[in-house]
Amino acid sequence: MSNIRKRFKKREGKKQTARAVKRGLVLLIVVLITILLGMILGAGEAWWPVWLVQHRTQVEGIILLLIIVLILLSPLMIEASSNTRTLSGPGKNPYIDP
């Protein structure tokens, strides 16, 4: 296989990994927003556990904080998952010829 094809396959693999991570993050954020909206609007409050009714605002705050953190850190998570770096083994210096 030529070097051009190897680079193309590697690049496509990175793009595919980035797309999968993006889809997962979007799905997670949408689920959290849906839960938060349900809690804010009080949907199905009769079926909620007593502790959830008592600590409703705290749980809403935690979910909102989690959503904000995920949105802010999503570019970093996508980059870290698609551009991983291989580490050299213990005791090996890659800059010195063996």
What does the pLDDT look like over 23-56, one tens digit per residue? 999 999 999 999 999 999 999 899 999 999 999 9
CA diameter of the chain: 70
39 within domain boundaries: yes
51 within domain boundaries: yes
The C-alpha atoms of residue 14 and residue 73 are separated, in whole angstroms, by: 19
| Total structural domains within the chain | 1
Task: Quickly state the pLDDT bin for 11 (edges 50, 70, 90).
Answer: confident
Give residue 38's domain range. 29-80
What does the pLDDT look like over 48-86, one tens digit per residue? 999 999 999 999 999 999 999 999 999 999 988 888 776
Say which DSSP state 46 is in.
G
Report pLDDT for 87. Answer: 62
Q: Is 60 helix (H, G, I), strand (E, B) or coil?
A: helix
